[in-house]
């Protein structure tokens, strides 16, 4: 006879995993704000810019153009790190990895 599944334990494990993934996403978004320089904006300006971006994201063409621009941004950062060597790691560059670079799109 098969052992019955412990659904409550499985649900708790899934909830714990979801909480960890949400925390990781929040941290990645904070890193993104910092590496793009958007942290120099006051909160109201940043919120307004994000709201305008959300409104503009209804167009597939607009989102694709933004995606290409974002990919180019991270490629430029990656090339810049290659020339700078380990300099970023030596000065405590916590934003050295691209948010989502660890496969976040597939999670």
Q: What residue numbers bound the domain in which 76 lies?
A: 42-86
| pLDDT on residue 79 | 84
Decide if 91 is inside a domain.
no
The pTM of the whole model exceeds 0.85: no
Q: For the chain, how many structural domains are there in total?
A: 2
| pLDDT on residue 2 | 81
| pLDDT on residue 106 | 39
Decide if 97 is inside a domain.
no
CB atoms within 10 A of CB 94: 12
| pLDDT on residue 104 | 40
List, for the chain, all residue ranges whose pLDDT scores fall below the cut of 50: 85-107
| pLDDT on residue 84 | 56
Q: Do 36 and 1 have their domain in common? A: yes
Q: Do 25 and 12 have their domain in common? A: yes
Decide if 102 is inside a domain.
no
């Amino acid at each position: 006879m098969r052992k019955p599944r412990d659904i409550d334990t499985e649900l708790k494990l899934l909830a714990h995993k979801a909480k960890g993934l949400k925390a990781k996403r929040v941290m990645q978004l904070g890193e993104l704000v910092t590496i793009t320089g958007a942290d120099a904006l006051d909160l109201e300006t940043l919120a307004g810019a994000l709201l305008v971006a959300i409104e503009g994201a209804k167009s597939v063409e607009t989102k694709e153009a933004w995606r290409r621009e974002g990919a180019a941004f991270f490629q430029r950062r990656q090339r810049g790190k290659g020339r700078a060597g380990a300099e970023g790691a030596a000065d405590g560059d916590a934003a050295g990895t691209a948010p989502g670079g660890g496969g976040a799109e597939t999670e």
